[in-house]
Amino acid sequence: MSEANQQLESDQKLNQLIRLEKEEYAVLAEQMDKESKTYQQQLALHERQQSQQTQEFESKIATLQQQLESAPTEQREETKKQQKIYSAQLRKTSKALYVNEEVTRIVIDQHLVEAGWQADTQSLTYQNGIRPQKGKNLAIAEWPTELKGKKGYADYVLFCGLTPIAIVEAKRENTNVAGKITQAERYSKGFHNTAKMIPARELQGLTVAWPFAEDGHYHVPFVYSCNGRPFVKQLAEHSGTWFRDTRAHSNLAKALSNFHSPEGLLDKLTRSKDKAEQQLSQEGFAYLKLRDYQEEAIKEVESALKHDQQSCLLAMATGTGKTRTILGLMYRFLKAERFKRILFLVDRTALGQQAIDTFKEAPLEQNQTLSKIYNIALLGDMAAEAETRIQVATVQAMVKRVFMSDNPPTVDRFDCIIVDEAHRGYTLDQDMTEGELATRDANQYLSTYRRVLDYFDAVKIGLTATPAKSLVNLCIPILIAKPWPTIG
């Protein structure tokens, strides 16, 4: 009875916080909309003035060029001086565009450093003689490439020691970065490994690189396109760090919150999804001692992931053993090395403790529990060690770890996230007006669950007993255990 009262009190507090947060957002949105309209008017005026000045200077330069061609010899020097003056004024008028490009490079340098790379677009360049070094993770700028006789320079090539593992295409802030990832792909095709390098294909155990056509190959497996802007869903193609794994034609480009770490890319390169899927298909269920519908639930999730689904919703009625089902699913994932590290995310400490108790007590193979087989970081232990395979955490703790820490985790810290009570996670997401997009932080419009989930480059599996439309729009649902009414 006491536990039920605590649950009711917790739900009431959560609902009250949600209501207050919605009211605050409504007031904030109105204020931001007014401010953004003012800023947009000022920006539009500045752009008109800049465009007018540019046209005037270009016209004067063209006129002087005509005069120069027809002027007597003694007047030509004076005309050239005037032309230089107008050209300098034109460059000054357009300076914001060039500075924007430079600032973008500085921002990208910082993002790469945060992810664990050594990056400095001014000093760590090919022209300065910088080359890959054993034991160092270098982002070397302006690396030359050549494809079918056409030369080009990759903005960055990321090296894990002597292995070229990724290409980065850097674009100014207002550029469609999603559409520019093909440029990074072209540099991957035109990259040439030297005798001192260790090709990425060798780390994957291949004798030839990854084909893209009958006579061509990707020589660098991963590519990025970035303009330094944080990802905003409504500006998807113009924001975020876009990433594509070129090793398979079916791999689509996607937006991330930052670059992968060197360790993350190496793990992605060497971890065999096909081998893990094969092992899962051959792995039995008897030692898990699950009910039939629980086994079917696990099979459905594994099948969804096998077909490259990146998110799914596991809907199970209350009392049907969600925690026990997830215990079996996580053990199978880790045993087959399908994932490196799993985050089990809860919104209340009580739910996290309940899961931990199950991990400690429920027997698996040879009567061993999950916590004895794998290293599990418990609630409150956010400084997990490298060998940690499962992290149990509340969403509040992860928000602090990710967004309020001087040393946040990398985007590849977890490659699988399992969300308990997933229906709680998307109640506060809001669309932004055009004015708010221009002047405000998109994080103010996203629920804390959504911010944490979007931060990591991971497969997401949601658990719920009450699947709602908001969840179905985000995940392809898997409905099991009992007949469910139409989602409304």
pLDDT in tens, 346-371: 888 888 888 889 899 998 988 899 99
Domain edge (last residue) among 270, 285, 300: 270
- Answer yes or no: is 8 within a domain: no
- Answer yes or no: is 156 within a domain: yes
- Evaluate if residue 329 carries a pLDDT over 90: yes
Give the pLDDT of residue 322. 86
Q: For residues 101 and 428, which has the higher predicted lDDT (pLDDT)?
A: 101
Tell me, yes or no, whether 263 and 283 share the same domain: no
The total of structural domains in the chain comes to 3
Give the pLDDT of residue 98. 41
- Backbone phi and psi for residue 312, each to the nearest 5 degrees, phi listed first: -150, 155
Average pLDDT of the chain, as a whole number: 80
In order, the DSSP letters of 172-233 are: -TTS-TTTTHHHHHHHHHT----TTS--HHHHTT-SS-EEEETTEEESSSEEEEE-SPPP-G
Tell me, yes or no, whether 305 and 415 share the same domain: yes
pLDDT confidence bin for 191, thresholds 50/70/90: very high
Give the pLDDT of residue 8. 63
- Answer yes or no: is 13 within a domain: no
| H or E segment and range at residue 390 | strand 390-394
What is the mean predicted confidence (pLDDT) over 317-334? 90
Q: Which residues contact 65 (CB under 8 A, 6 or more apart)?
A: 83
Looking at 131-140, 154-163, 380-389, which range is the least confident one?
380-389
- Answer yes or no: is 3 within a domain: no
Give the pLDDT of residue 354. 86
Provide the CATH number for the domain around residue 359: 3.40.50.10810
Tell me, yes or no, whether 338 and 241 share the same domain: no
Tell me, yes or no, whether 288 and 261 share the same domain: no
Give the pLDDT of residue 212. 86
Give the pLDDT of residue 427. 44
What is the mean predicted confidence (pLDDT) over 438-465? 72
Looking at 62-76, 164-178, 374-388, 427-441, which range is the least confident one?
427-441
What is the mean predicted confidence (pLDDT) over 99-115? 81
Q: Is 304 exposed, middle or buried (0-12, 13-18, 19+ CB in 10 A)?
A: buried
Looking at 68-82, 168-182, 256-270, 327-341, which range is the least confident one?
68-82
Domain edge (last residue) among 270, 290, 314: 270
Tell me, yes or no, whether 63 and 180 share the same domain: no
Tell me, yes or no, whether 378 and 415 share the same domain: yes
Could you list the residue range(s) of the whole structural domain that residue 215 is in?
98-270
In the DSSP assignment, the letter for residue 126 is: T
- Evaluate if residue 433 carries a pLDDT over 80: no
pLDDT confidence bin for 267, thresholds 50/70/90: very high
Tell me, yes or no, whether 202 and 104 share the same domain: yes
- Answer yes or no: is 222 within a domain: yes
Q: For residues 72 and 93, which has the higher predicted lDDT (pLDDT)?
A: 72
Tell me, yes or no, whether 187 and 331 share the same domain: no
Provide the CATH number for the domain around residue 162: 3.90.1570.30
Tell me, yes or no, whether 285 and 216 share the same domain: no
- Answer yes or no: is 454 within a domain: yes
- Evaluate if residue 262 carries a pLDDT over 90: yes
Give the pLDDT of residue 123. 93
Q: For residues 240 and 61, which has the higher predicted lDDT (pLDDT)?
A: 240
- Answer yes or no: is 312 within a domain: yes
Helix, strand, or coil (residue 151): strand
Tell me, yes or no, whether 70 and 102 share the same domain: no
Burial per residue of 251-265, b for 16 or more beta-carbon CB atoms within 10 angstroms, e otherwise: eebbbbbbbbbbbbb
pTM for this model (two decimals): 0.74
Tell me, yes or no, whether 376 and 305 share the same domain: yes
- Evaluate if residue 387 carries a pLDDT over 50: yes
- Answer yes or no: is 10 within a domain: no
Give the pLDDT of residue 95. 43
Among candidates 250, 271, 185, 183, which has minimal Cα distance to 221? Answer: 185
What angle is formed at CA 349 by the lines to CA 348 and CA 354, rounded to 5 degrees? 105
Give pLDDT tens digits for 407-430: 889 999 999 999 987 766 544 444
What is the DSSP pairing of strand 241-245 with strand 254-256?
antiparallel
Tell me, yes or no, whether 252 and 122 share the same domain: yes
- Backbone phi and psi for residue 378, each to the nearest 5 degrees, phi listed first: -85, 175
What is the mean predicted confidence (pLDDT) over 312-340? 90
Domain edge (last residue) among 270, 294, 315: 270
- Evaluate if residue 47 carries a pLDDT over 80: no
